Structure 1
């Protein structure tokens, strides 16, 4: 009998934010995101100048955990989740640590999308979900080998998940997703009338 193995596995971590660290008040976190977006004129200007749909604090506020206690609590919680994922990935950190580098708010309105991208210079990236109205976008992940498939035929429509070229993950409010930062991903167009709110982050090795 032939032996068929799965090699070079891409890992995706999914858990409830509440499984690690201090409890995070979901309503307070959502209110904080909208309050910051309303007050962050530099962020609003950056989004307008760069054609960014909705709002992100990525280019304007680099110290949310220092400014707001709820983001400090969130960062502590994320540290625990990243530690668990790091253990699963069996990284040899050589006595060093993975530390939070960036933490930013995303508010995506109806019709908005985030194009396919990676997170250079980071090790682990992820998102925790604050508001996910019915019908809003899932996270779409791309097989990192796609550019090397050349003349390969398409997969069958209902092929096994590990064989798909794209996998969409529909997180719930309070979920946290983690992946290695080289994994290409996107947020397709938000088809819901309400805004999709999330907080994304990067961890670096130092």
Structure 2
């Protein structure tokens, strides 16, 4: 009998923020994101200068948990999710937990896209979802081996999820997704009329 194994697994963590409560209010978080975006002139200028659709605080605000208590509460919850994922990944952290490096707001309007990218200087990256209107973009994840499959046939449309070249996930408001930072991902065009709002973050190992 043949022995077929799955090797070199790519794991994706998906959970409700409230799994490690207390729950962070999605409506309060959405209001905070919109108010911050309205006030952050440096971030607005950066987005305009770099043709970034919508708004991100990535290049302008590096201290959201210090400025706004709701972001501190959010990070307290994220720390626990990241620790759980690190345990699932069997990381040997030598007694030094992964720590937050960056956290930023993303507001993607109708027609906006966020191109394919990785987070090369971090260990775990992720996003929690604040506003996901009907018809908005999924998260697109790419098989990290794709560039080495020069002569491989394409997969059938009914291929099992672990064998697909791309996987599309549509998260729900209040969920958090985590992945290892080398995993390439993107946000396709937002086809909804309303803004798609999320908060992304990186964790590193000191």
Deviation at 1:145, TM superposition (A): 0.1
Q: Does 1:96 align with 2:96?
A: yes
Cα-to-partner distance string for 1:95-131 (whole Å, 9 max, x where unaligned): 2120000000000000000000000110000000000
Partners of 1:21 and 1:76 within 8 A in 2: no
CA–CA distance in structure 2, aligned partners of residues 70 and 19 of structure 1:
17
Cα-to-partner distance string for 1:166-203 (whole Å, 9 max, x where unaligned): 00011000000000000000000000000000000000
CA–CA distance in structure 2, aligned partners of residues 94 and 21 of structure 1:
27
Partners of 2:103 and 2:199 within 8 A in 1: yes
In the other structure, the counterpart of 1:55 is: 55
CA–CA distance in structure 2, aligned partners of residues 65 and 120 of structure 1:
23
Is 16-25 or 62-71 further displaced after alignment?
Answer: 16-25
Unaligned regions of 5+ residues in structure 2, if any? none
Partners of 1:131 and 1:198 within 8 A in 2: yes
CA–CA distance in structure 2, aligned partners of residues 161 and 182 of structure 1:
19
Aligned-partner SS, 2:120: coil
Partners of 2:83 and 2:97 within 8 A in 1: no
Cα-to-partner distance string for 1:137-170 (whole Å, 9 max, x where unaligned): 0000000000000110000011010000000011
Deviation at 1:21, TM superposition (A): 3.4
CA–CA distance in structure 1, aligned partners of residues 96 and 195 of structure 2:
39
In the other structure, the counterpart of 2:204 is: 204
In the other structure, the counterpart of 1:144 is: 144
In the other structure, the counterpart of 2:71 is: 71
In the other structure, the counterpart of 2:190 is: 190
CA–CA distance in structure 1, aligned partners of residues 95 and 12 of structure 2:
24
CA–CA distance in structure 1, aligned partners of residues 4 and 25 of structure 2:
46
TM-score (norm 2): 0.99
Partners of 2:110 and 2:190 within 8 A in 1: yes
Deviation at 1:22, TM superposition (A): 2.4
Aligned-partner SS, 2:34: helix
Partners of 1:129 and 1:172 within 8 A in 2: yes
Aligned-partner SS, 2:79: helix
Cα-to-partner distance string for 1:27-71 (whole Å, 9 max, x where unaligned): 110000000000000000000000000000000000000000000
CA–CA distance in structure 1, aligned partners of residues 49 and 112 of structure 2:
16
In the other structure, the counterpart of 1:10 is: 10
In the other structure, the counterpart of 1:114 is: 114
